[in-house]
Structure 1
Amino acid sequence: MSDVGTGTISTKIPARLDRLPWSSWHWMIVIGLGTVWILDGLEVTIVGNLSAQLARPGSGLDITAAQVAGVAAALYVAGACSGALFFGWLTDRFGRKKLFILTLVVYLVATLMTAFSFSAWWFFLFRFLTGFGIGGEYAAINSAIDELIPSRHRGRIDIIINGSYWLGAAGGALLTVPLLNDLPVNIGWRVAFGLGVVLGLAILLVRRNVPESPRWLFIHGKDREAEEIVGDIERRVGGDLPEPEQSTTVHQRKSIGFLRIAHTMVALYPKRTVLGLSLFIGQAFLYNAITFGYAQILATFFKIDTHTGYYFAVIAVGNFLGPLLLGPLFDTVGRIPMISATYIGSGVLLLGTAWLFAQGSLTAVTLTACWSVVLFVASAGASSAYLTVSEIFPMETRAMAIAFFFAIGTAAGGITGPLLFSSLVATGVPGDTALAFAIGALVMIAAGLVELFLGVKAERRGLEAIAPPLTTADAPRPA
């Protein structure tokens, strides 16, 4: 292609993007890219709350509730992990826009096909493919958002966007109540999946207007296209925009090899790799100590086996309010103080909840209130894990880094967590469930301590200053 070069260039594109004032254009980015987490929250919650209806005679599927909660959930997790890794690699290689369009299409088609399920194997197949698309979304979307949002807003926007998962979870929990009670057994669950498709189509219409990341373009030899996109953004934003002084010099490449990407994480940034793993595994264990078995806990200890969606909606609201209200502090107070405080603080709060539960001092309402407080703090921390791994590695590895840590965290939370915590809750002994809470809390606290020692001061700094691109002339090299 004539517009693709492989020379050495100096560019002010990163600095020009970072100095932009907040505008309606940035809101378009947030809506077009960020709202997909609402879809994920809606998807996961709907399936969890529909498991009983899917297993009822006349649902149109020969499937048990255990298969929905077990096999289908495991396949969704497996799909999300593999999709993140596969599409993450493609995102770094072929660009952000191609992949965030493709992954959303995969999600839409798979969800639509799930709504038309006629057999258990069909349902399982498209649960896997739905997860495959959602996993790819995490890699493609987080990398694109961080590269398009000005550095002084990046922390709060990323955290709020990732926290919006719980807005979808609250909506999914409330939606399932009328769908379960007011529609025929073979229709309600299909309508629930159909709602996800409608929302996804609306997001796709907005997403078409989101440009490719100029940062990705100039590194991959398409500096002319990158200049045109940034110039168009500046015209849309308007106002008096001073010319930045800082420039970045890169050796352009058409592609970056996978071995180079893997080598970067292990050899150049080993401490940051340990940090990313700690943050993802910590939040995965805390969340699964609570959310995986919340309905089982309510049924086992408080004899509440209907309308659990209302309780989950309350928990989900607490989860969303945390990133919304605490998110700005990650840009002002700073990453290390806020990440460590939310991880350690939520862990300590969960330990207190475990003690109260073991003493028999809680009711279903007060336990839900405790969970909401814990997750108000924890949700901001969990969202900051995605922010951290998307900004502390070089641009060429960004999507793959997000995919790698997402896959590890999701596998730890979606496989190890449920196996461990469900067995403890199933005994019906309050002390065992309290132990499940304590395990999740201690792993979360440990991750917060790792942040204190290995955290990176990334607030209000350009991505290239936090981790120079591998193609930058003065990029760090292994010893």
Structure 2
Amino acid sequence: MTQSTADDQLTARADQVVARMERVPVSRFHGRVVGLLGTGTFFDSFDTLSLSVVLSTIAATLHLGAGDAGWVISAGFLGQAIGAVVFGLISERLGRKRVFVLALGLLGLMAAGSAVAWDGWSLGTARFVQGLGLGAEVPVAAALLNEFVHGRARGRVLMLYKLLFPAGTLAASLVGALLLATLPPTQSWRVLFAIGALPVLVAVLAAWRLPESPRFLVRRGRTEEAERIVAEMERSAGVPAARVEGTTPPADLARTRFGEIFSTRYRRRTLTVWTLWFTTYFTLWGMTTWLPSLYVSVGGLSPSAASLLLGAVTIGYFALLVVMSATVDRLGRRFWFLLGYGVALAGAGVALLLWALGALHGWVPLCVAGTTLLLGVNINAPLVYLYTSELYPTRMRSWGTMAGSSWRNVAAVVAPVAVGQMLQARLGIGAVFGLFLVTLLVGLAVQLRFGTETKQAALEELAG
């Protein structure tokens, strides 16, 4: 057998791996993948929000001003930005599974480190190192999950998986409220961070039970391993193992070139999704990070009541994600992106109007405007993970998703500091909502002009 014939046979087997995966319906196998990835994502959001929930208590305990607290917050997001890029590069070499396990273990270990912090610098350092893992976990999980699910159900499955993110947010709010109400201030935030160390155990389980993406494996020449995993998927779904005939998009076996996301073919996609990431998460993290503290300083609520209020808002987000999961593969990604930006802009606009009328005081108007804004950007937040990983081929899907998510983290570095400095300079809460309004308008304009639809297509068809 000549080398050319052998290569042709490997290519044909790789194409069959993709074709067989596209015919496998969602089954218990996918449930296991979603369960493991979702548990990691649960603790990702738990650890991310924990600092916001107990920020006022930490500031009092460690004697941090608004500007100092903003820098502690941003240290974690700076780590996430770096982690997304570094692990994104590594994930195309080591695989999605290994990077997920490494990231999850790191964020758990550094949650324990945050629990024993003694000043702003030590806490900021722990949050920075933890951010390296936090920045990689969710985007690599989204890329991995997308590569397991056929095109007709990809949006539904990923939206259901993303339910674990607000679940972690809700858990952080409720557990934080309980700890704030029952423990001394110097202990409550330390216990909350210690709970966030549990992902270390999840990482051990994932190393044992989480499969690698067959799409990644065939690219690395590990075709037999990929075929075994696909056969397991078929057995779980009750689909007979058989050759798939007909026109099927070929597997992506090309070599990874990290600069390809800036090539003529992918440049517009890259700039589009980077704008979506930045505008969505600048607003999301700017509001999420500071809203509990604003409920206390502007609304007059206690820290525990502010935490419970944020948790109540999260319950509405659960219902929203369920609706999105049922419709995103039918109505499409662009429909939901435009709706998300529209709702968020309505919230920012209401806040500006109330501020101009002198009525933006007390927790009720702040809650109405802030909740509307947050619901809008929380529509876009899970969508941008799904959307980004659909726009790149397998050879750079994880890298492209993580590179995009790094702009989420860049925005998250800038937003808490910007809001903190604006509040410390007494520019007023109206100026903060005005900044969010302009940011959201940019995102809406880019999606309207350059966004493309990706619903119900195989990943190989969308590769460009």
More helix by share: 2
Instruction: Please say if 1:49 is aligned against 2:48.
Output: no
After superposition, residues 338-417 of structure 1 pair within 5 angstroms as: 338-361=336-359, 363-415=362-414, 417=415
Kindly indicate whether the alpha-carbon contact (under 8 Å) linking 1:286 and 1:437 is maintained by their aligned counterparts in 2.
no
Q: Provide the residue aligned with 1:453 in structure 2.
A: 449
Match of 2:32 among 28, 31, 34: 28
Q: Provide the residue aligned with 1:474 in structure 2.
A: none
Kindly indicate whether the alpha-carbon contact (under 8 Å) linking 1:166 and 1:316 is maintained by their aligned counterparts in 2.
yes
Match of 1:278 among 275, 280, 302: 275
Q: Provide the residue aligned with 2:219 in structure 1.
A: 219
Deviation per residue, 1:185-229 (Å, 9 max, x gap)? 554333212222235524642563121100011112111211111
Kindly indicate whether the alpha-carbon contact (under 8 Å) linking 1:337 and 1:452 is maintained by their aligned counterparts in 2.
no
Instruction: Please say if 1:443 is aligned against 2:439.
Output: yes
Q: Provide the residue aligned with 1:174 in structure 2.
A: 174
Q: Provide the residue aligned with 1:477 in structure 2.
A: none
Instruction: Please say if 1:125 is aligned against 2:125.
Output: yes
Aligned-partner residue type, residue 127 of structure 2:
R
Aligned-partner residue type, residue 442 of structure 1:
V
Measured in 1, the distance between the counterparts of 2:417 and 2:64 equals: 19
Residue 56 of structure 1: how far off its partner (Å): 5.3
Instruction: Please say if 1:331 is aligned against 2:317.
Output: no
Measured in 1, the distance between the counterparts of 2:198 and 2:371 equals: 30
Measured in 1, the distance between the counterparts of 2:286 and 2:134 equals: 23
Measured in 1, the distance between the counterparts of 2:137 and 2:42 equals: 12
1:217–1:85 CA distance, 2 compared to 1 (3 A): same
Q: Provide the residue aligned with 2:16 in structure 1.
A: 12
1:76–1:238 CA distance, 2 compared to 1 (3 A): same
Kindly indicate whether the alpha-carbon contact (under 8 Å) linking 2:299 and 2:363 is maintained by their aligned counterparts in 1.
yes
1:419–1:189 CA distance, 2 compared to 1 (3 A): closer
Q: Provide the residue aligned with 1:464 in structure 2.
A: 460
Instruction: Please say if 1:82 is aligned against 2:82.
Output: yes
Residue 184 of structure 1: how far off its partner (Å): 4.4
1:343–1:278 CA distance, 2 compared to 1 (3 A): same
Measured in 2, the distance between the counterparts of 1:442 and 1:56 equals: 33
Deviation per residue, 1:67-110 (Å, 9 max, x gap)? 87233212211111111111111111221111111111112222
Residue 23 of structure 1: how far off its partner (Å): 1.5
Kindly indicate whether the alpha-carbon contact (under 8 Å) linking 2:344 and 2:374 is maintained by their aligned counterparts in 1.
yes
Measured in 2, the distance between the counterparts of 1:282 and 1:118 equals: 34
Which has the higher mean CA deviation after the structures are superposed, 437-446 or 20-29? 437-446
Deviation per residue, 1:397-455 (Å, 9 max, x gap)? 1111111111122212321x2333334444656xx422321331332233123222222
Measured in 2, the distance between the counterparts of 1:296 and 1:335 equals: 33
- Mind listing any 5+ residue stretches in structure 1 that lack a counterpart? 469-479
Kindly indicate whether the alpha-carbon contact (under 8 Å) linking 1:285 and 1:444 is maintained by their aligned counterparts in 2.
no
Kindly indicate whether the alpha-carbon contact (under 8 Å) linking 1:318 and 1:375 is maintained by their aligned counterparts in 2.
no
Instruction: Give me the TM-score of the superposition, normalised by structure 1.
Output: 0.86
Which has the higher mean CA deviation after the structures are superposed, 324-333 or 382-391? 324-333
1:250–1:327 CA distance, 2 compared to 1 (3 A): closer
Deviation per residue, 1:101-156 (Å, 9 max, x gap)? 11111122222233344565543332112111111213321110110122222113
Measured in 2, the distance between the counterparts of 1:36 and 1:6 equals: 40
Measured in 2, the distance between the counterparts of 1:53 and 1:404 equals: 34
Q: CA RMSD in A?
A: 2.8
Aligned-partner residue type, residue 212 of structure 2:
E
Kindly indicate whether the alpha-carbon contact (under 8 Å) linking 2:50 and 2:172 is maintained by their aligned counterparts in 1.
yes
Instruction: Give me the TM-score of the superposition, normalised by structure 2.
Output: 0.88
Give the match's secondary structure for 2:209.
coil
Residue 379 of structure 1: how far off its partner (Å): 0.9
Aligned-partner residue type, residue 213 of structure 1:
S
Kindly indicate whether the alpha-carbon contact (under 8 Å) linking 1:84 and 1:138 is maintained by their aligned counterparts in 2.
no
Kindly indicate whether the alpha-carbon contact (under 8 Å) linking 1:85 and 1:400 is maintained by their aligned counterparts in 2.
yes
Measured in 2, the distance between the counterparts of 1:47 and 1:247 equals: 48
Aligned-partner residue type, residue 74 of structure 2:
A
- Mind listing any 5+ residue stretches in structure 2 that lack a counterpart? none
1:421–1:123 CA distance, 2 compared to 1 (3 A): closer
Kindly indicate whether the alpha-carbon contact (under 8 Å) linking 1:55 and 1:64 is maintained by their aligned counterparts in 2.
yes
Q: Provide the residue aligned with 1:317 in structure 2.
A: 315
Deviation per residue, 1:356-403 (Å, 9 max, x gap)? 343244541243134323322321222211111111011111111111
Aligned-partner residue type, residue 314 of structure 1:
A
Give the match's secondary structure for 2:152.
helix
Kindly indicate whether the alpha-carbon contact (under 8 Å) linking 1:76 and 1:130 is maintained by their aligned counterparts in 2.
yes
Measured in 2, the distance between the counterparts of 1:446 and 1:29 equals: 36
Which has the higher mean CA deviation after the structures are superposed, 212-221 or 15-24? 15-24
Deviation per residue, 1:38-82 (Å, 9 max, x gap)? 21221122222333444556xxxx663658723321221111111
Kindly indicate whether the alpha-carbon contact (under 8 Å) linking 1:39 and 1:200 is maintained by their aligned counterparts in 2.
no
Give the match's secondary structure for 1:267.
coil
1:184–1:353 CA distance, 2 compared to 1 (3 A): closer
1:439–1:163 CA distance, 2 compared to 1 (3 A): farther
1:326–1:194 CA distance, 2 compared to 1 (3 A): same
Aligned-partner residue type, residue 272 of structure 2:
L
Kindly indicate whether the alpha-carbon contact (under 8 Å) linking 1:18 and 1:150 is maintained by their aligned counterparts in 2.
yes
Give the match's secondary structure for 2:141.
helix
1:18–1:279 CA distance, 2 compared to 1 (3 A): same
Aligned-partner residue type, residue 430 of structure 2:
A
